[in-house]
Amino acid sequence: MPLEIRRAREADLKAVFAIESAVQKSPWAESAFADIQKDEDAYFFLVSDADSQPVAFLIAISGDDFLEIHNFAVAPSSQRQGIGSRLFQYVLHEASKAGIPSVRLEVRENNAPALAIYMANGLEIVGMRKGYYNDNGENALLMTGKIPSVW
Ligand SMILES: CC(C)(COP(=O)(O)OP(=O)(O)OC[C@H]1O[C@@H](n2cnc3c(N)ncnc32)[C@H](O)[C@@H]1OP(=O)(O)O)[C@@H](O)C(=O)NCCC(=O)NCCS
């Protein structure tokens, strides 16, 4: 199945919200996706299938010298096929082209698949927020990594 990585469009928002609702313990409001899609400076990329339907998305915001990952999800039926890894690397590459030198994010301590992707891309755990997530009291790990400038 040919997959494409592209910027999210307004027409994608329903499908993106469906993925969010299917995978996140505390989903964002649908309006949050609409606001970010309108923000041309935000990194809101997705992977779409042969019918141009989203199967994964990643949202990040750039600061002066870092890219912060805010949301990242793959639809349940598309997980464990390397799609999340591919999308994460694509967004780092986009940030690299914009001269952004580092990436940072928060992740649930027990989120093994997400941690596998972040570790494989050179991110390191630099801190922890105890009991950060309200829904189950899980700790948040803070991770940062360098984004190679020539890539
Ligand atoms: C995290 C997530 C985006 C990963 O997407 P994915 O497309 O399934 O990931 P990939 O197929 O690219 O797998 C990446 C790595 O994680 C590992 N992995 C995938 N699912 C796993 C699981 N359930 N348990 C342990 N490791 C897993 C894979 O083995 C792979 O490692 P490898 O390259 O060393 O083999 C996806 O699981 C998801 O949407 N989870 C719910 C939302 C979420 O947690 N988002 C991250 C918030 S910080």
From the number of C-beta atoms within 10 Å of its C-beta (0-12, 13-18, 19+), residue 42 rates as: middle
Measuring CA to CA, which residue among 45, 68, 48 is closest to residue 58?
Answer: 45
Amino acid at 109: E
Q: In testing the pocket of ligand 1, which one of 68, 80, 109 has its CB within 8 Å of the most ligand atoms?
A: 80
- The CA 133 to ligand 1 mean position distance, Å, reads 20
Alpha carbons 13 and 8: distance in angstroms, whole number: 8
What pLDDT does 111 receive? 97
Domain harbouring 41, CATH code: 3.40.630.30
For 38-81, write each residue's pLDDT tens digit.
Answer: 999 999 999 999 999 999 999 999 988 999 999 999 999 999 99
Dihedral sign (CA 92, 95, 96, 101): negative
**Structural domain range at position 8:** 4-146
Ligand 1 centre distance from Cα of residue 144 (Å): 18
pLDDT (0 to 100) of residue 67: 98
Q: Note the pLDDT of residue 150.
A: 61
Q: Give the count of domains, the chain.
A: 1
Quick check: 62 and 95 in contact, CB under 8 A?
yes
Would residue 10 count as lying in a domain? yes
Quick check: is 141 in a domain? yes
Q: Is the beta carbon of 121 within 6 A of some atom in ligand 1? A: no
Residue nearest to ligand 1 atom 20, measured at CA: 113
Q: Are 72 and 55 in contact (CB under 8 A)?
A: no
Q: Is residue 12 part of a domain?
A: yes
Whole-prediction pTM:
0.96
Q: Would you state the pLDDT for residue 149? A: 83
Confirm whether 51 is domain-assigned: yes
Query: Among 28, 72, 88, which is best to mutate for testing ligand 1, by the most ligand atoms less than 8 A from CB?
Result: 72
Q: Within a domain: residue 151?
A: no
How do the pLDDT tens digits run along the chain, 151 residues long? Answer: 589 999 999 999 999 999 999 999 889 999 999 999 999 999 999 999 999 999 999 999 998 899 999 999 999 999 999 999 999 999 999 999 999 999 999 999 999 999 999 999 999 999 999 999 998 999 999 999 999 886 5
In whole angstroms, what is the distance from residue 107 CA to residue 147 CA?
18
- Asked whether residue 96 is domain-assigned, the answer is yes
Strands of the 43-48 sheet, one edge to the other: 4-7, 43-48, 54-62, 67-74, 102-108, 140-146, 124-129
Whether residue 123 has its Cβ less than 6 Å from ligand 1: no
d(CA 92, CA 121): 9
